[in-house]
A and B are shown apart, each in its own frame.
Chain A
Amino acid sequence: MTSYFIRRFLLIIPTFIGVTVLVFTLTRLVPGGPIERMLNEAAMAGGDQASATTNFGGHGAGSLSDAQIEELKVYYGFDKPILISYLEWLGKVIVLDLGTSTRYSEPVWDTIKSRFPISIFYGVTTLILTYGICIPLGVVKAIRHKTVFDNVSSALVFFGYAIPSYVVGIALLTVFAANLEWFPLGGFVSDDFDDLTGMEKIGDVISHAVLPLLSYMAGSFAVTTLLMKNSLMDNLAAEYVRTAIAKGMDFRRAVFSHALRNSLIPIATSFGGNITLILTGSFLIEKIFNIDGFGLLGFESLVDRDYPVVMGILVISSLLFLIGNILSDICVALVDPRVKFGSGGSGQ
């Protein structure tokens, strides 16, 4: 088993190289190249968007001389063949040097690091709320199957399942922030945050956090609740629960000490995915609520064509994703002693 997970960890390397080669090549293979596009757009800035979109590929009336363009190319490493510049980039990544942001003129890693606290705050809170609500809710729904409570909550769960979380976020923002003005229109804290007293600060953060948290939860809420309910129902119908009750065990104890433990296994399979959620959040929700986290940074760096940051974010999020997958498998192996990875079974 240990050797299996060591092998899985080693397999991260080729996959990681594959992912980055793919994106790195994509950023280089474009006719014209990013530099020309940057210049084009700079020349066209202020012009209307519609004409800018139809006119690309050609050399715009850039105000830079050819020599300056060459200098820029050298600066960004566009002057070398793809493979060489990729290897150079990779060599830097290995020693944790993600390059320098073209927008902030500071190391990419520092830029990314400064956004983590906010994303982690939202990630951890969402995680606690999701599991804290979904597991009990799933249990109650399984025990009270086909009652009014079950049907009403099913409708809610179904809604959360059908509607993507960013649409939920926009709807919440429109109704509760713009219209009813119960909550602020976005951001992490108010502008006058520093002037507030301790309690007011907490209140301020909470009032800013309610709507984004609701939209984050809308995504994972439905899936986790249904998973919990269905797996508990399957287990409740299993022979061993029947046996326990036949031997005179209390129904409540049969549920909590026998069935529940086994039905938590499917929940564990998705646990590793949370690492991505905690650290990177969702750029859609961060964009909607204007939360200055990791996701919004990824979006802004794309809009500003800050490719070092874009690649840095890609590196971190794909590494987290790969590690998260393995973490899920480790979780499953921990909670379910029947699972044996490595002998023919695929971990996916």
Chain B
Amino acid sequence: MTVFPQENLLAKRRYRPALNPLTLKQLRRFRSIGRGYWSAVILTGMLILSMGAELLVNSRAIVVSYQDEWYFPTYGAFIPGRTFDLPYDYETNYRELKRVFKERGNGDWVLLPPVPYDAMENDLRSDIYPPYAPSFSSGHYLGTDSIGRDILARLLYGFRITFGFAFILLACNYVIGIAVGCAMGYWGGAFDLLFQRLIEILNNVPYLYVIMIVASIVIPNFWTLMIVMVIFGWTQMTWYMRTSTYKEKSREYVLAARALGATSPRIISSHIMPNTISVIVTFIPFSIAGGITALTALDFLGFGLPPPTPSWGELLAHGMNHMESPWIIYSVVVAIVLVLLMVAYIGEAIREAFDPKKFTFYE
């Protein structure tokens, strides 16, 4: 009698192709939807670029070559001005350093980022008061706000923070929602009833208003705001997962799995979940858009991330208070519209590719 080694059997059972044919087909369909696909490409590119925002938009230089020694000031502790023989101990002003090196003319050079300003930095001048209009010569390509901070820098860093926030919010909401929702649908009973009531309460809270109430009491930072928004935001996914788990639970294959002796966690994780979770992909872009919209609205109203954090909502509010400097409001409105349109295009394409409910029509 041949005895199969246990490991082998397990390995065989656990084996799943990385991408099954259905997923491949869905991905192909997604690629074929032009505007959704290209929006995804552009947005991903922008996200990757924003990861290295310090190299693109920063008051610190990328490379400084001084007396045959190279410095990379972008990351890490600041380099005091004395290092480059400037008469001060605080952080080097690299824009000035570039000018000084040119005057000295002994082969030292500074490579500044394309936009040589930081999002928090006030660029003050002696001759005029901010806000400065967009200009190529000063490097403020989209102008500055009323205290001399570069709009492009604030847009880019705001983009990174907003998307980071939206993605973490999404992850928290989905993890909690999927876990609780599956448990509710699978076990039902008192647990289900308890959470149903809780969800009903949370769903009936005026979401944004309650977050504003909380934010008016505890002045929020990134993480407290996140916690508050998760507390009121996890219910949506939970409700969806509960219904679909409940439906799947009564199907024959679950019965078969149970008859074969599979444990509840196993039935949930490897039988029910794969069948319910695929549709969740179609919700992701909408949750991202929702996260961006909510955070921007809170920032706009002044109940979001504390100043001086660069944020789109703060720029919106700032632009509305300085209508005489229209470049502020136009830059941020165009940025928001473009990004949200791209997210919506992606969402539309994903839904078409993954959930092809073709609408029937009269012929």
29 examples of A-B residue contacts, CB within 8 angstroms? A16-B204, A26-B213, A26-B217, A50-B307, A50-B308, A53-B219, A54-B306, A158-B344, A162-B289, A163-B336, A166-B297, A167-B296, A167-B333, A170-B333, A174-B319, A174-B320, A230-B359, A233-B362, A234-B360, A237-B360, A241-B362, A284-B301, A288-B320, A302-B216, A313-B209, A317-B206, A317-B209, A321-B204, A348-B239
Expressed in whole angstroms, the minimum distance between the Cβ of B228 and any Cβ of chain A is 9
Q: Which residues of B contact A305 (CB under 8 A)?
A: 216
Q: Which residues of A contact B219 (CB under 8 A)?
A: 53, 56
Q: Which residues of A contact B329 (CB under 8 A)?
A: 170, 174
For the complex, is A187 an interface residue (Cβ under 8 Å from B)?
A: no
- Within A140-197, which residues are at the interface with B (CB < 8 Å)? 142, 145, 158-159, 161-164, 166-167, 170-171, 173-174, 178-179, 185
Q: Which residues of B contact A16 (CB under 8 A)?
A: 204
- Within B346-361, which residues are at the interface with A (CB < 8 Å)? 348, 359-361
Q: Which residues of B contact A234 (CB under 8 A)?
A: 359-360
Expressed in whole angstroms, the minimum distance between the Cβ of A310 and any Cβ of chain B is 6
In the assembled complex, the Cα of A303 lies from the Cα of B215 at a distance in Å of: 10
In the assembled complex, the Cα of A16 lies from the Cα of B203 at a distance in Å of: 11
Do B344 and A170 touch (CB < 8 A)? no
Q: Which of A27, A171, A283 contacts B337 (CB 8 A)?
A: A171
6 new A-B contacts at CB < 8 Å, known A142-B361, A162-B289, A237-B362: A23-B213, A26-B214, A167-B316, A171-B333, A283-B208, A314-B206
Do A302 and B344 touch (CB < 8 A)? no
* Nearest neighbor of A54 in chain B, beta-carbon distance: B306
Q: Report B295-309 CB contacts with A as 1/0, cut-off 8 Å.
A: 011001111001110
Do B362 and A236 touch (CB < 8 A)? yes
- Within B231-257, which residues are at the interface with A (CB < 8 Å)? 239
Q: Which residues of A contact B201 (CB under 8 A)?
A: 15, 18-19, 22
Expressed in whole angstroms, the minimum distance between the Cβ of A208 and any Cβ of chain B is 17
- Within B62-121, which residues are at the interface with A (CB < 8 Å)? none
For the complex, is A287 an interface residue (Cβ under 8 Å from B)?
A: yes
B residues near A (Cβ < 8 Å) are: 197-198, 200-201, 204-206, 208-210, 212-214, 216-219, 239, 289, 293, 296-297, 300-303, 306-308, 316, 319-320, 323, 326, 329-330, 333, 336-337, 340-341, 343-344, 348, 359-362
Q: Which of B197, B214, B293, B308 contacts A164 (CB 8 A)?
A: B293
Do B209 and A298 touch (CB < 8 A)? yes
Q: Which of B205, B320, B336 contacts A23 (CB 8 A)?
A: B205
In the assembled complex, the Cα of A34 lies from the Cα of B239 at a distance in Å of: 35
For the complex, is A322 an interface residue (Cβ under 8 Å from B)?
A: yes
Do B205 and A22 touch (CB < 8 A)? yes
Q: Which of A50, A167, A310 contacts B336 (CB 8 A)?
A: A167
For the complex, is A199 an interface residue (Cβ under 8 Å from B)?
A: no
For the complex, is A94 an interface residue (Cβ under 8 Å from B)?
A: no
| Known A166-B300, A178-B323: A15·B204 in contact at CB below 8 Å | yes
Q: Which residues of B contact A15 (CB under 8 A)?
A: 197, 200-201, 204
Expressed in whole angstroms, the minimum distance between the Cβ of B335 and any Cβ of chain A is 10
Do A162 and B204 touch (CB < 8 A)? no
In the assembled complex, the Cα of A19 lies from the Cα of B218 at a distance in Å of: 19
In the assembled complex, the Cα of A30 lies from the Cα of B198 at a distance in Å of: 22
* Nearest neighbor of A325 in chain B, beta-carbon distance: B204
Q: Which residues of A contact B360 (CB under 8 A)?
A: 233-234, 237
For the complex, is A102 an interface residue (Cβ under 8 Å from B)?
A: no
* Nearest neighbor of B361 in chain A, beta-carbon distance: A233
Q: Report A269-287 CB contacts with B as 1/0, cut-off 8 Å.
A: 0000000000000011001
Do A174 and B323 touch (CB < 8 A)? yes
Expressed in whole angstroms, the minimum distance between the Cβ of A250 and any Cβ of chain B is 14
For the complex, is A318 an interface residue (Cβ under 8 Å from B)?
A: yes
For the complex, is A343 an interface residue (Cβ under 8 Å from B)?
A: no
For the complex, is A341 an interface residue (Cβ under 8 Å from B)?
A: no
Expressed in whole angstroms, the minimum distance between the Cβ of B185 and any Cβ of chain A is 12
Q: Which residues of B contact A105 (CB under 8 A)?
A: none
In the assembled complex, the Cα of A15 lies from the Cα of B323 at a distance in Å of: 44
For the complex, is A299 an interface residue (Cβ under 8 Å from B)?
A: yes
Do B217 and A27 touch (CB < 8 A)? yes
Q: Which residues of B contact A50 (CB under 8 A)?
A: 307-308
In the assembled complex, the Cα of A299 lies from the Cα of B317 at a distance in Å of: 15
* Residue of A145, A167, A313, A321 with most chain B CB atoms under a 10 A cut-off: A167
In the assembled complex, the Cα of A54 lies from the Cα of B337 at a distance in Å of: 32
For the complex, is A201 an interface residue (Cβ under 8 Å from B)?
A: no
In the assembled complex, the Cα of A158 lies from the Cα of B36 at a distance in Å of: 13
Do B362 and A178 touch (CB < 8 A)? no
For the complex, is A14 an interface residue (Cβ under 8 Å from B)?
A: yes
Do B206 and A174 touch (CB < 8 A)? no
Do B320 and A233 touch (CB < 8 A)? no
Q: Which residues of A contact B319 (CB under 8 A)?
A: 170, 174
Q: Which residues of B contact A73 (CB under 8 A)?
A: none
* Nearest neighbor of A166 in chain B, beta-carbon distance: B297
Q: Which residues of B contact A322 (CB under 8 A)?
A: 204
Do B297 and A284 touch (CB < 8 A)? yes
In the assembled complex, the Cα of A321 lies from the Cα of B210 at a distance in Å of: 14
For the complex, is A68 an interface residue (Cβ under 8 Å from B)?
A: no
* Residue of B213, B293, B343 with most chain A CB atoms under a 10 A cut-off: B213
Do A30 and B217 touch (CB < 8 A)? yes
* Nearest neighbor of A284 in chain B, beta-carbon distance: B297
Do B293 and A19 touch (CB < 8 A)? no
Do A19 and B344 touch (CB < 8 A)? no
* Residue of B206, B296, B333 with most chain A CB atoms under a 10 A cut-off: B206
Q: Report A49-61 CB contacts with B as 1/0, cut-off 8 Å.
A: 1100110100000
For the complex, is A115 an interface residue (Cβ under 8 Å from B)?
A: no
* Residue of B200, B216, B307 with most chain A CB atoms under a 10 A cut-off: B216
Q: Which residues of B contact A30 (CB under 8 A)?
A: 217-218
